[in-house]
Amino acid sequence: MRFKFLFFPTGILLCLCLYHGYISVFSWDELSEAASPSLPIIFAITPTYSRPVQKAELTRIANTFRQIPAFHWIVVEDTNNKTSLVTNFLKSSGIQHTQLCVKTPAGVTKARGTLQRNVGLCWLRETFQLTEAPSGVVYFADDDNTYNLEIFEEMRYTNKVSVWPVGFAGGLRYESLVLNDAGKVKGWRVRYDPSRPFAIDMAGFAVNLDLILEKPRAIFRLDVKPGYQESSLLQDLVTMEDLEPKANNCTKVLVWHTKTLNPNLVGDQHFTDRNIEV
């Protein structure tokens, strides 16, 4: 599948799917036959980019994703062409997947992963028609996070948008949500800019697939301040009253930001074999 990105005068980014190419080692017919008819499918969109720890990060989260039933992994590389490292990794992962790619333009220096997430949304909208789509939920699963398996079962039966705390986010031990006595969201337990329309971390929400298909213009936008990416999508989908608290009324942390340290490679110039993939 090829994608074209248009930047309108307002700075709003729209992603248009132009035509299909080789995407995945699975056709959707094969995936739908393999999926359990009783379980909504979790579609996890993961942006990724080339760096020394890329394969290590993908391996770590794949070891989690491999244990999740009715799961489809949409991996979107920040490259002009799909790389052999990611292609071979996904083929050997044992996980049903789709591999896509789009290169972030040189002039875009903030909000890494925005275009890649939008391409994942485009693929879903191009693949499924609202009246024929499987029951499912969409989650934005970055490759440098750590996930408890429980969070995926929490999100699986999302009606519109489900929410939960995220560990090690926003300069805090965790960011969360403030609930009223009825268990509905009434605010945000965050330090950074709590006035945001949806002060929620990217790892802290999931969206019902039907809602993504019903709202084809809902995307992540580049013409917003740092920390407003999540709001740029969610404000086109729901209101605060629609949010569904999970993780025991937002009292359990089941996902964490845990970036792998950049390795010390100062002694490796012209030493190890560059033909060996790390």
Instruction: Tell me the per-residue pLDDT of 157-205, one tens digit each, with 9 for 90 and over.
Output: 999 999 999 999 999 999 999 999 999 999 999 999 999 999 999 999 9
- Single-letter amino acid code for the residue at 264: N
Name the H helices within 13-83. Answer: 28-34, 54-65
Residue 58 predicted with pLDDT over 50: yes
Compute the distance between CA of residue 144 and CA of residue 61 in angstroms, rounded to an integer.
8
Domain boundaries, the chain: 2-257
* Stretch among 8-17, 39-48, 80-89, 188-197 having the lowest mean pLDDT: 8-17
Compute the distance between CA of residue 100 and CA of residue 23 in angstroms, rounded to an integer.
6
Active site residues: 230
The Cβ of residue 275 has, within 10 Å, a number of other Cβ atoms equal to 5
pLDDT band at 1 (very low <50, low <70, confident <90, very high): low
- Single-letter amino acid code for the residue at 94: G
Residue 5 predicted with pLDDT over 60: no
Compute the distance between CA of residue 21 and CA of residue 143 in angstroms, rounded to an integer.
25
Contacts for 207 with CB less than 8 Å, ≥ 6 apart: 137, 138, 139, 158, 160, 161, 237
Domain 2-257 class in CATH: alpha beta
273 marked as part of a ligand binding site: no
Is 1:123 a contact under the CB 8 Å cutoff?
yes
